[in-house]
Chain A
């Protein structure tokens, strides 16, 4: 079933179950490549559900742009199976990002201070790592991002 995401005044629907099931198929092998276990990029203090509703759309829009422009684009899948699964995940997140852009066009995706502050913290956690390690870690943390969406 489709899940409705209430991100302040921006309301979108997405096939979150399908995305989560897709990721669960590659989760163990992707996470196994992340050996830096004492750093977490998506932390509880920057969670979507812990952000005031009005800023959630903008925060999510920034996070999805990070994933699409710097994670999926630079990820080197070890085999064709994972490549296909990751491509499908990327397309699903791209669809969500396009919906958020529509909200932006309709002035229902404002970028407040909280969104900017939390995204800059996420970005600094990401950039603290060597590039390829950051890509692998961010991909491995998709279950956290998807959980944030589930609870948003």
Chain B
């Protein structure tokens, strides 16, 4: 049943949330209709092509987000998306995003961080985040393959002295030396790509203790 367009106010804050090329369209319900049984329909558009396309899994949905990762997976293209609200026989006008350029806008997720320690040093091994993929069977693509200039901001915090060091690296292994034995250190790592500013997501903070200084341990015996 066609709805009467424009009687309902539009969804608000329609925007793409993109992390490692997983591109989710999200929005807020129309003003004044929070908690009301509103449904939504989404369409998307490839900039430079000819028509708006439907996303069948996001037709008449009650949730306020829609995964458009597959539809926006050619990250060299630019996209638009729009959503409209429906309630009974009334529907809103479309609410549209700005131009979305996944290659420039996707957030680069944190790397995997592996720590090993000895008395006075901590070795850190980083594994670049993986790009979103359609299915588990698909082979993984590292974000490093897409952004050859991917870098990492590594911070290490001495919980005893409250001192923090940071280092910007491109390679995946680094060693922090001259540390204090038997001391708890916490490490935080953030991926970034030089260029226009992007939102970033730091890794979980990981804490590890350096080993006892073996020389003093022997003397004590």
**Minimum CB distance partner of B50 in chain A:** A38
**Which B residues are CB-close (under 8 A) to A39?**
48
Q: Are B98 and A147 in contact (CB under 8 A)?
A: no
Q: Are A37 and B80 in contact (CB under 8 A)?
A: yes
Q: What's the Cα separation between A43 and B48 when bound, in Å?
A: 8
Q: What's the Cα separation between A38 and B50 when bound, in Å?
A: 5
Q: Are A147 and B197 in contact (CB under 8 A)?
A: no
**Minimum CB distance partner of B99 in chain A:** A31
Q: What's the Cα separation between A32 and B104 when bound, in Å?
A: 17
**Which A residues are CB-close (under 8 A) to B50?**
38
Q: Are B195 and A40 in contact (CB under 8 A)?
A: no
Partner of A21, one of B49, B77, B98, B195: B195
Q: What's the Cα separation between A37 and B81 when bound, in Å?
A: 12
Q: A40-B78, A144-B78 are in contact. List 20 more A-B contacts (CB 8 A).
A: A16-B195, A20-B196, A21-B197, A23-B196, A24-B104, A28-B98, A31-B98, A37-B47, A37-B80, A38-B45, A38-B49, A38-B51, A39-B48, A43-B48, A44-B76, A143-B101, A143-B104, A147-B76, A147-B103, A150-B195
Report if B194 contacts A (CB, 8 A). Answer: yes
Contact A40 to B98, CB < 8 A, known contacts A21-B195, A24-B197? no
CB-defined A-B contacts under 8 Å, sample of 29? A1-B194, A16-B195, A17-B195, A20-B195, A20-B196, A21-B196, A21-B197, A23-B196, A24-B104, A24-B197, A31-B98, A31-B99, A34-B99, A37-B45, A37-B47, A37-B80, A38-B45, A38-B48, A38-B49, A38-B50, A40-B47, A40-B48, A40-B78, A44-B76, A44-B77, A140-B99, A144-B78, A147-B103, A147-B104
Contact with A along B189-216 (1 / 0, CB 8 A): 0000011110000000000000000000
Q: Are A17 and B76 in contact (CB under 8 A)?
A: no
**Which A residues are CB-close (under 8 A) to B103?**
147
Interface range, B side: 10 to 19
Q: What's the Cα separation between A124 and B45 when bound, in Å?
A: 23
Name A's B-contacting residues (CB within 8 A): 1, 16-17, 20-21, 23-24, 28, 31-32, 34, 37-40, 43-44, 140, 143-144, 147, 150
**Which A residues are CB-close (under 8 A) to B47?**
37, 40
Q: What's the Cα separation between A16 and B149 when bound, in Å?
A: 13
**Which A residues are CB-close (under 8 A) to B80?**
37
A75 to B: closest C-beta gap in Å: 18
Contact A32 to B98, CB < 8 A, known contacts A21-B195, A24-B196? yes
B105 to A: closest C-beta gap in Å: 10
**Minimum CB distance partner of A22 in chain B:** B196
Across the A-B interface, the 9 shortest Cβ-Cβ residue pairs? A40-B48, A24-B196, A31-B99, A20-B196, A20-B195, A38-B50, A28-B98, A21-B196, A17-B195
**Which B residues are CB-close (under 8 A) to A17?**
194-195
B38-67 interface (Cβ within 8 A of A): 45, 47-51
B167-205 interface (Cβ within 8 A of A): 194-197
**Minimum CB distance partner of B98 in chain A:** A28
Q: What's the Cα separation between A31 and B194 when bound, in Å?
A: 23
